[in-house]
Structure 1
Amino acid sequence: MDSLDRRQGLSSEQVAQRVRDGLSNADEGIKTKTEKQIILENTFTFFNILNFVLALFVLLVGSFKNLLFLGVIFSNIIIGSFQGIRAKRTIDKLSLISAPKASVLRDGKLQTIPVSGIVMNDVLHLSTGQQICADAIVLEGEAEVNESLITGESDPVLKRAGDELLSGSFIVSGSCYAEVEHVGRENYANRIANGAKYVKRTNSEILHSLDFIVKTLGFTLVPIGILLFCKQFFLLHDTIREAVVSTVAAILGMIPEGLILLTSVVFAVSVLRLSRYKTLVQDLYCTESLARVDVLCLDKTGTITEGTMQVDELHPLTGYTEEDMTAPLEALVQVLTDDNPTYNAVKAYFPGGSDWKAAATVPFSSARKWSGAYFGERGTYVMGAGEFILGERFGALREHTEEYAARGERVLLLAHSAKPFLENKVLPDDIEPVGFILISDKIRTEAPQTLRYFAEQGVTLKVISGDNAVTVSNIAQKAGLPHAENYCDATTLHTDEEIAGAIEQYSVFGRVTPQQKLKFVQALKDHGHAVAMTGDGVNDVLALKEADCSIAMASGSDAARTVSNLVLLDSNFASMPQVVKEGRRSINNLQRSASLFLQKTIYSTVLGVLFIFLSASYPFEPIQLTFISSITIGIPSFILALEPNNERISGSFLANVLKKSFPSALTMILGVLFLTLFKEPLNLTNPQVSTLSVIVAFAVGFMLMFKLCLPFNALRGALFGTMVAAFFVGYIGCMDLVSMVPLTAPMLFILIPLLIVSVVFMVQTNHFMEHFAERHTRRLLQSRFFQNHRRKRHEAAHKDRHAARRMRRRTEQPSRVRDGKRA
């Protein structure tokens, strides 16, 4: 654009042409899923489709009472969809970009337009406090820019004519006109964020264990179902209705549908509880991921620090006292109207007023690097950068300032002259230094306690920042970070091998680029660590997406919020311990409750296979299994799963569950086999066998529930007593509904000894499992089938990472050449 164009801006015709050419600033950032996508993802799962097919078979034979199991499926869909849509709407409300309007020069006049209305070559007018909404080149004027959300560097950067402004950064002071050089997806912020546009699979051991169980059963359900139906219909000559109902009952018993629902409910309750702590959970399973992490990567700004400055102390020079600095500083903050982080820190340190009257004031500017006032007889006082106030004379004080800087302090100089300002607001020649004002990033009040909590839990803490490594190290030491003195300047790391070695050796990293943050997280994961990452800027997006659990601050960039599993709505890191506690409660209680569900899955699967070869009908109907599941599994598991539980997580989820569920499942299998095999010698009819099998299932279920309730408290005692009473009420009052018959004397004669033997056998099997189950479970986890399942997960994750790298390579390519240089 020529100089005339720069004064006039674009014309209406030029704007319209650029819109037609697709050169407008339409949002190209990371989008949340649509509500339709969320509902479809929660509806069409392998588990749900399987149950819908079974329901169709039952519906076709007209056994409507046996469709009650669909309630679990619909509940699971509703919970997952509700949480996903709730999280999406909350994130959308946090705004796509902090500055929804932009001031542009068009047809020679300043106009206020939506950010999406900006086009290529628009001339923006930017002033203090505004966010830069498109990459631009400064045409005239100068301003200090905070690029922390983009680069991680919290120090303001001075921008003059010809300098580049990056979208997503903020004007700290000054004002300028700038010409837009990139729009939409070509903006720097969007090019980084686009590298995170890939699907990341949930890293949840519980979810993977359930997925393994369901898919394993999925391979066996179809052949078992077909063989069982054929046996009952063709060999035993049952009616088609009886054959279908029995087959569906066997298959339903094999599917832990209640466990899937319970898992969703437990994590959904965690979501609601965490909302009281201003924490938005976008992924139901991320609280488990956070509870399991052993490395937590922290961003300095917004996590350890508040993003504001504070005065640490006043350091008067020789010949002056602290009182000689206090009065002038109180007067300066009273009369100056500056608005930058260092001035605001001084103003907060001196909240009291002053009776000094200013005859003249000089506000802060990026060029001067100081501000001050002339107070008549009291002379002139200024504060700012020592190099700009004293010029060449500052050399005598440089050693002191470098010493403070090494401690992570920022140094302002207070200087005095008896003379007023010279012409054009030039400082008097005899200006003399009075003392230093030492300023640092303000550490969050709760940060030391939060860092101490994670350290006590055995979580290794890493601070990764774009700021100077020495400064970050000193701030981390003040906050109480363990081993904060071990710091590394990331500009010295050039290869992946150097990064992999450094991430294990050091605790604090400075001058880290967005790509290096990503490589740090990948290196930790390659070393076998479970990694959590906090961040708030576009520079954190790639690492946040890669981490096992990602946490963003609501005050940060929209891209960071969108890709993260957790969003701290009040941007308060103190909520993190509560999230960990919720994860522990969820995992530990789910491990206990899952034993109830897998007990039924194990005995139903084994019985389903055995009854293919036995010349007897399957003894259960779907309605009976619903009755058993509700009282011995469903209700107690939900109550037990919501109890407080802050114990540390130990062992494998699958190992812990199998150790508790296998003894009761084996007891149940032997009891049903006894009744089936000795049906004729014991003179039992099919309905009587079915009734006795249901009672045995209840008895075994109550024995397992008794064990899980130990040690008893008021809640568990009331739960156990209520469930036993519910069984008798259901049996006596709803006998026809649950397809059971009254107990006769011969039935009781068989039942009582059977129950006694079952108790003794289950106790002995439990003792056996305590000693040997862990070893057998490890063998299961090392089995070829389980390893193949795990390998497929790893291959899928590798494909995700490869897709992400391809996306990043595309977005990192120079998108446009301007004046012979990379834009």
Structure 2
Amino acid sequence: MAQNDNPKPTAPELHGLSAQEVASRVGQGKANTPVEPLSKSIGQIIFSNVFTYFNLIFAILATLLLTAGLHKDLVFLPLIICNSAIGIIQELRSKRLLDQLSVLNSPTAKVIRDGQEQKIPSDQLVLDDIVLFKAGDQIPADAEVISGKVSVNESLLTGESDEIIKESGAELMSGSFIVSGSCCARLTRVGAESYISKLTLQAKTVDNAEESEMLRSMNKLLKIAGVILIPLGGLMFYQSFVTNHLTYAQSVKTTVAAVIGMIPEGLFLLCSVTLALSAMRLAKQKVLVHDMKCIETLARVNVLCVDKTGTITENTMRVTDVVPLGDADKDMLTGLLSDFAAEQSADNITMSAIKQYFTTPTGAKIVSHTDFSSEFKYSSVTFEKAAYVLGAPERILRERYEQFREEIEFDSRKGYRVLAFARYSGTPDGKALTEDCEPLALILITNPIRKSAPATFKFFENEGVEVKVISGDNPITVSEVAKQAGIANAEKYVDASTLTTDEAVAEAMKNYTVFGRVTPDQKRKFVKALQAQEKTVAMTGDGVN
């Protein structure tokens, strides 16, 4: 077991906070207060859409016409009002949806205070509160397990659906769910400091400084035109009123008519209507548009990052074959793997496929088990006579991997996900394997490609969009699946675990298409590296990804 730097809690600590300690933390701003969204206020939205340089020019022209009593000549105003209204309505709609967007949905929590269990609203929790969690609960703030053992699903945060075992000293990330077990935990970060609050703010933040290329060009055009039109308009009025001796009203009418003809107000309205219609069309597909300008950005995307499972392939798997290694008997393996599968929970699609295939358990007595660890890439079952592990071949076989590399890579090139099954000399605890593993079998699993995938990726290729496949699976397997899906340059793959520096990541993003064994933390680095190369990047993924 890994050593824990924090001392084991004593009985007084489990007494929880006193009412005075709670009040003190609330006074210090250490309560689990929901973060306020960073979206613009209604007033700011109206102000930003009404008080623009474009509208200023037309406001000046309208004022001149009103002073001349030419009310009937204000026919251009509906265009200006319509243009501003479209922007206001779309931003208000996005604001309403963004403000409602929440990953955290845990209204109450059970805490220990003054030695008594209490059920309180989650926003009344404070730093160092002792909270009790059970299956079905969502973690409302970052916490550290004091006692107990739970299986946690962090898919909303990481996009990885595999469950993770958390024991004493382990960190519970806010926003994750307790799938099974129960525990007692101390809150370590609350409110705006919690992981889920920071993530939510990032998801809701709109970069107001960013402008699409089209709008930036149009605004630049308008500013240049505005600078030219002001002195030009003055000269035209002078010529009409002074030189040609027209009346004030006639001079204003002539000048305004000439100036309006030089301003492409119809182009602005056309752009606004087009973007608004695009936003409405995306909304019908259940796509939330932060800001209308991002629609043009989407059209300029030249790199698309995709996951394998659930994106290129269907979100299902099935076992195709079991390949015995050494002297292992296939019938014996079937019974052993059936016992192994019966003890595991179907907490991910891989284990679900194994449980569906191996259905003849022998009833062997089981001492303990560990669920699949996304960090160490294996699960285990300990029987009375021996312990067995199942997972990624390179993590299970370790120094023996080279002995079976050719066979594993041969199967991987056929598009199979290959798992290794082995007898373990020690007692597996969910951490890194350190003792010897005796290889018993390779399990071949297929993940059907979506029927629409080849046509979809062909469309992107024709549009000049480069596709990058980012997956946690074996890079050879992912490469083969990408080839079958018709992704260009799918034969160029790399194991992301070898990319240990920013320079290596940047170079890999230039030269490779398929990235295997990618960790959740690496995904942002990959996107940042592509953006640093002046790429416009889009990314698809599960959960908050």
- Whether these two folds match at TM > 0.5 is yes
State the Cα deviation string for residues 573-614 of structure 1 (Å, max 9, x = none): xxxxxxxxxxxxxxxxxxxxxxxxxxxxxxxxxxxxxxxxxx
| TM-score, normalization by structure 2 | 0.76
Q: Secondary structure at the match of 2:104?
A: coil
Distance 1:434 1:301, change over 3 A: closer
Shift of residue 434, structure 1, vs aligned partner:
8.7
Alpha-carbon separation, structure 2, partners of 1:191 and 1:470: 35
Q: Go from structure 1 to structure 2 and tell me whether the alpha carbon gap of 1:201 and 1:16 turns closer, same or farther (over 3 Å shift).
A: same
CA–CA separation in structure 2 for the residues paired with 1:490 and 1:336: 32
Equivalent position of 2:31 in the other structure: 24
Structure 2 residue aligned with 1:613: none
Q: State the partner residue of 2:268.
A: 260
What amino acid maps onto 1:242 in structure 2? Q
Partner of 2:459: 453
TM-score (norm 1): 0.53
SS in 1 for 2:317: strand
Is contact 1:491–1:511 with CA below 8 Å preserved after alignment?
Answer: yes
- 66, 71, 85: which one pairs with 1:64? 71
SS of equivalent residue, structure 1 residue 143: strand
CA–CA distance in 2 between the matches of 1:468 and 1:35?
Answer: 49
| 1-structure distance, mates of 2:402, 2:529 | 40
| Conservation of the 8 A alpha-carbon contact between 1:382 and 1:414 | no
Deviation of 1:44 (Å): 1.7
- 2:389 counterpart of 1:385: yes
Distance in 2 between the 1:450 and 1:7 partners? 56
Instruction: Verify: 1:53 aligned to 2:60, yes or no.
Output: yes
Question: Per-residue deviation at 1:482?
Answer: 2.8
Residue of structure 2 in register with 1:295 after alignment: 303
- The reply to whether residue 178 of structure 1 matches residue 182 of structure 2 is no
Who is 1:76 aligned against?
83
Measure how far apart 1:224 and its partner are.
1.1
The separation in 1 between residues aligned to 2:180 and 2:407, in whole angstroms, is 28
Match of 2:506 in 1: 500
1:187 aligns with 2:197: no
Is the contact made by 1:414 and 1:436 (CA closer than 8 Å) also made in structure 2? Answer: no
| Cα deviation, residue 214, structure 1 | 0.9
Find the partner of 1:282 among 275, 284, 290: 290
- Alignment length, in residue pairs? 508
1:123 matched to 2:130? The reply is yes
Change over 3 Å in CA distance of 1:321–1:501 after alignment to 2: closer
Provide the C-alpha distance between the structure 1 equivalents of 2:340 and 2:527, rounded to a whole number of angstroms: 46
Note if contact 2:313-2:450 (Cα within 8 Å) is conserved in structure 1: yes
Query: What letter matches 1:385 in structure 2?
Result: V
Indicate the SS of the match to 1:133.
Answer: coil
1:462 aligns with 2:468: yes
The Cα of 1:48 is off from its aligned counterpart by 1.4
Query: Matched residues in 1 for 2:465 and 2:510: separation?
Result: 13
List gaps (5 residues or longer) in structure 1. 374-379, 416-431, 537-552, 561-823
**Structure 1 residues 487, 395: CA separation in 2 closer, same or farther (over 3 Å shift)?**
closer
**Residues 85-144 of structure 1, C-alpha deviations (whole Å, 9 max, x = no match):** 222222333424244444433344544444333210122333445443322212112334
Which residue pairs with 2:228 in the alignment?
Answer: 220
Counterpart contact for 2:142–2:174, Cα < 8 Å: yes
Q: 1:494 to 1:343 in 2, by over 3 A?
A: closer
User: How much does 1:47 deviate?
Assistant: 0.7
SS in 2 for 1:180: strand
Contact 1:300 1:464 (8 Å CA) reproduced: yes
Change (3 A) 1:7 1:302: farther
Structure 2 Cα separation of the partners of residues 185 and 433 of structure 1? 48
Q: How does 1:398-547 map to 2 (within 5 A)?
A: 404=408, 407=412, 409=417, 411=419, 413=421, 437-439=443-445, 446-464=452-470, 473=479, 476-477=482-483, 479-490=485-496, 492-493=498-499, 497-510=503-516, 517=523, 520-529=526-535, 531-536=536-541
Cα 1:393–1:96, aligned 2, differ >3 Å: closer, same or farther?
Answer: closer
The structure-2 alpha-carbon separation of the partners of 1:76 and 1:396, relative to structure 1 and needing over 3 Å to count, comes to closer
Kindly indicate whether the alpha-carbon contact (under 8 Å) linking 1:146 and 1:172 is maintained by their aligned counterparts in 2: yes
Structure 2 residues without counterparts, runs of 5 or longer = 1-7, 373-377, 424-437
Change (3 A) 1:51 1:323: farther
Task: Kindly report the root-mean-square deviation, in angstroms, between the aligned alpha carbons of the 2 structures.
Answer: 4.5
In structure 2, the CA distance between the partners of 1:185 and 1:198, relative to structure 1 (3 Å rule), is: same
Structure-1 separation of matches of 2:163 and 2:10:
29
Per the alignment, do residues 166 and 214 of structure 1 end up closer, same or farther by CA in structure 2, a change over 3 Å counting?
Answer: same
Query: Post-superposition shift, 1:72?
Result: 0.6
CA distance 1:346–1:469, change in 2 (3 Å): closer
Letter aligned with residue 296 of structure 1:
L
Distance 1:25 1:340, change over 3 A: same
Provide the residue aligned with 2:19 in structure 1: 12
Matched, 1:40 2:40: no
Check whether the contact 1:486–1:507 (CA below 8 A) recurs between aligned residues. Answer: yes
> Which of 152, 169, 180 is residue 162 of structure 1 equivalent to?
169
Rg comparison, structure with higher value? 1
Moved more, 288-297 or 234-243: 288-297
Q: Is the contact made by 2:104 and 2:196 (CA closer than 8 Å) also made in structure 1?
A: no
Hey, what's the Cα distance between the residues in 2 that align with 1:105 and 1:489?
46
The AA in structure 1 aligned to 2:183 is: C
CA offsets per residue over residues 443-473 of structure 1, 9 Å max, x none? 6554444233212332111234577756755
The sequence identity of aligned pairs, in percent, is 39
How has the CA–CA distance of structure 1 residues 487 and 30 changed in structure 2, closer, same or farther, with 3 Å as cutoff? farther
**8 Å contact 1:32–1:88 — kept in the other structure?**
yes
Taking a change above 3 Å as real, the CA distance of residues 363 and 466 of structure 1, as seen in their structure-2 partners, is: same
* Cα drift, residue 200 of structure 1: 5.0
Match of 2:317 in 1: 310
The 1:213/1:486 distance shift into structure 2, 3 A limit, reads same
| Structure with greater proportional helix content | 1
Q: 1:488 to 1:30 in 2, by over 3 A?
A: farther
Task: Write the distance in 1 (CA, Å) between the matches of 2:473 and 2:330.
Answer: 33
Please tell me whether the aligned partners of residues 361 and 372 of structure 1 are also in contact (alpha carbons under 8 angstroms): yes
1:708-762 alpha-carbon deviations (Å, 9 max, x no partner): xxxxxxxxxxxxxxxxxxxxxxxxxxxxxxxxxxxxxxxxxxxxxxxxxxxxxxx
CA 1:343 to 1:293, structure 2 compared with 1: closer, same or farther past 3 Å? Answer: closer
